[in-house]
Amino acid sequence: MALEVLSNLQINLLFDIAIIIVFATIIAFIARLFKQPLIVGYILAGILLGPTTFQLIKNQEIIFALSEIGIAFLLFFVGLEMDLKKLKEVGFFSTAGTIIQVVLTFLAAFFILLKFGMASTVASILSLIVAFSSTSIVVKIFSDNDEIDTLSSRLALGLLLMQDIIVIFLLSTISTTTSITIISLATSFFKGIAIFATALLMSSVVFPRLFAAAAEYREMILLLSLTTCFIFSTIAAYFGFSIAVGAFLAGISIAPLKYSLNIQGMVEPLKDFFATIFFVSLGLQMKFAGMGNLINIFWAMLALVIIFKPLLIATIALLFGYEKRAASAAGFSLGQVSEFSLIIAAVALSNGLIGSEIFSLTVLLVAVSIVTTAYTLRIEGKIYSFLSGYYGFISSLLPKSKLRKEKKLRKKDIVLFGCHRMGAIFLETFKKAKKKVLVIDHNPHRVEELERMKVNCLYGNISNEEILKHAGLSNTEFVVSTVRTVEDNLYMINYIKERKYDTKIIVVAEHIHQALDLYDAGADYVIIPHIVSGEKMSTIIKDLFKGKKKIERIKNQSIDHILFIERFGRNIKG
């Protein structure tokens, strides 16, 4: 009998997950048709499946449990993307600017909500909710537009990093108490500092060696990453924090490692699956009954998020000396409510700090503000023109010597995939020609040797989208791949062609039919080693007929190549 009940529960759970995924997929297609972020489609799918509409989901408690894993994976991924080294240029602005922005946004929202007659505790939670912006949405927008390395993106991501760190401590507080006091804040702060310090210690002392040992095997590095995520989540739960806090810190601890980009690519499908369930579960919890009284509050908070907050951020950036165009783009990219705010609302709801109507209001604010951001950024140029007089006035308050302009990125000469034998010869040739080269290789020992040689390099696979995304292929003249797997080369070529990058592609193939497939896909030149070696040998033989001096020069060149490859290979094995 017990087995039969368990079997029915399993079937019902499987049915519920199937319905969620099917509905989410259908609504996501519709969202993409109207060029909307998928998160909005997922929330809408939850509303349709929930108690206010079709009532198709029965095991809501289990779905909510799965959604917690979803948000843990989402924040683990956000943590992985937090490369602190890249934010040094805007470090002071990130810290001071975030504190100013969060405090002023909180105070503005809190004042408005009190005027609407809202209780101070609820007003505090809702004011915190609207103060933060969405890391995942902003990163995706800049990545899709190939603007991830611009000054505006660095300004925005610097603010988002500091916002996320603040949110983590707020989550720590809210998840461990039903009332916010000085003592609870201090206790949570020191607990959070202890876990954060542990993460940094592991990141600098333990993880480099541990991940280096696992990096040779794809499945091992994935398992080790997930183990790290679950261990930190367990530690966070033990201290009374949300598991999302632990997952985020796990991501932060892995982010500085050379393997982090590859890990992002491997973890992303898991993150997408569980995050879909999380966002659908938010829609499941939405209750529109009683929200009629909050409609004026909704419009007031939406205006604060999409108008006041972007203008405030742009103004702060201008006062810190950044140029008008970058300041405007950074400000209006942050005109939405964060996915972290959804977690704050969910935790506050479960702890009785807010009611279901405020939670539903939060979900609605997130969805509408994200949709608005998608449209706002399309007309950001017009907004900039409209506000140019205001921007000019703010900039005029600073001496011209204090203005910080966008640094133009120098176009990278070559990205080289694979640095074994043939790749090593290519690298030597590129270095002699004084070309600016980025090498990407999946062999951790080879990457270590390249680092010792002061060669700019990344650990990763050519078929990993995160690696291709961070390789800066849009800013590269030549892409050279010595990888022999035709499917991997086709993946890379299609990635470049789909995005219409102006870069020349040189790849390697073992057979003629593979070379023809690569040419059809868009390769500019395909190296077939046995044909090229035959052509080269014909040229060498002709040169050998030209006398002893010519023979000696060709011989010395050959010995130099052999010794370089032999020394390079020996260093890797050593």
Domain containing 467 — which CATH number?
3.40.50.720
434 lies in some domain = yes
Q: How many residues does the chain have?
A: 574
Q: Are residues 387 and 422 in the same domain?
A: no
Assess contact for 139 and 373: CB atoms under 8 A: no
Q: Are residues 194 and 311 in the same domain?
A: yes
Residue 298, judged by CB atoms within 10 A of its CB (0-12, 13-18, 19+), counts as middle
55 lies in some domain = yes
176 lies in some domain = yes
User: Last residue of a domain, which of 361, 396, 431?
Assistant: 396
Q: Are residues 151 and 242 in the same domain?
A: yes
User: Last residue of a domain, which of 368, 396, 424?
Assistant: 396
403 lies in some domain = no
Residues 62-77 as b/e (b if ≥16 CB within 10 A, e otherwise) read ebbebbbbbbbbbbbb
Assess contact for 74 and 139: CB atoms under 8 A: no
404 lies in some domain = no
What's the DSSP call for residue 405?
A: P
Q: Are residues 419 and 391 in the same domain?
A: no
User: Last residue of a domain, which of 370, 396, 422?
Assistant: 396
Q: Are residues 354 and 434 in the same domain?
A: no
Q: Are residues 346 and 466 in the same domain?
A: no
**Mean pLDDT by 10-residue block, N- to C-terminus, for the chain (574 residues)?**
55 82 88 77 85 76 75 82 61 86 95 93 92 81 69 84 79 62 68 83 90 85 93 87 84 88 86 82 74 86 95 92 89 88 81 85 85 82 89 80 53 85 85 89 87 89 86 88 92 91 90 88 87 60 61 68 61 52
CATH at 345:
1.20.1530.20
402 lies in some domain = no
* Residue 45 CA neighbour count, 13 Å, CB half: 27
Hey, is 437 helix, strand or coil? Answer: strand
The number of folded domains in the chain is 2
Angle among Cα 454, 457, 462 to the nearest 5 degrees reads 160
Q: Are residues 287 and 147 in the same domain?
A: yes
Q: Are residues 31 and 172 in the same domain?
A: yes
Return all residues near 174 (Cβ < 8 A) that are at least 6 apart. 125, 180, 344, 347, 348, 351, 353
Q: Are residues 487 and 368 in the same domain?
A: no
557 lies in some domain = yes
**Parent domain of 436:** 412-573
Q: Are residues 469 and 387 in the same domain?
A: no
Q: Are residues 381 and 467 in the same domain?
A: no
DSSP states of 407-426: PPPPPEEEEEE--STHHHHH
482 lies in some domain = yes
Q: What is the dihedral of CA 265, 346, 64, 302, to 10 degrees?
A: -70
Q: Are residues 67 and 181 in the same domain?
A: yes
Assess contact for 372 and 336: CB atoms under 8 A: yes
